[in-house]
A = this chain, B = another copy of it.
Amino acid sequence: MIPMGTGTSASKYVRAVHQVLKESGLVFIPTPMCTVVEAERMAEVFKVVERADEVLAGMGVGRIITTVKIDHRLDKEISIETKMGAIKE
């Protein structure tokens, strides 16, 4: 989520989104370019995105650009852990 119409620093908004994620109970890990969330169903991720958008709006952000990338694998169960394991040499 990229806030526009604010300063160049986004860290307080990132922390607010992490707070929403903590309250959601979903497993998530922050990375330098995005936050990775693990969920059983897309709807859980979308619910958190909507809540985070509301929180940023409540903080006075005038324009919010949100990118959600979903990896939905149907042939086997995947998780943050299995994905990280698979790319290790």
Contacts and interface: CB of A to CB of B under 8 A. Distances in A.
Interface of A: 2-11, 14-15, 18, 29-34, 36, 42-43, 46, 49-50, 53, 57, 61-75, 80, 83-84, 86-87, 89
Number of copies: 4
A88 to B, nearest CB: 8
B72 A66 contact: yes
Nearest to A33: B36
A88 B2 CA distance: 18
A5 B2 contact: no
A74 B57 contact: yes
A87 B11 contact: yes
Given A2-B65, A18-B87, A42-B53, A71 B33 contact: yes
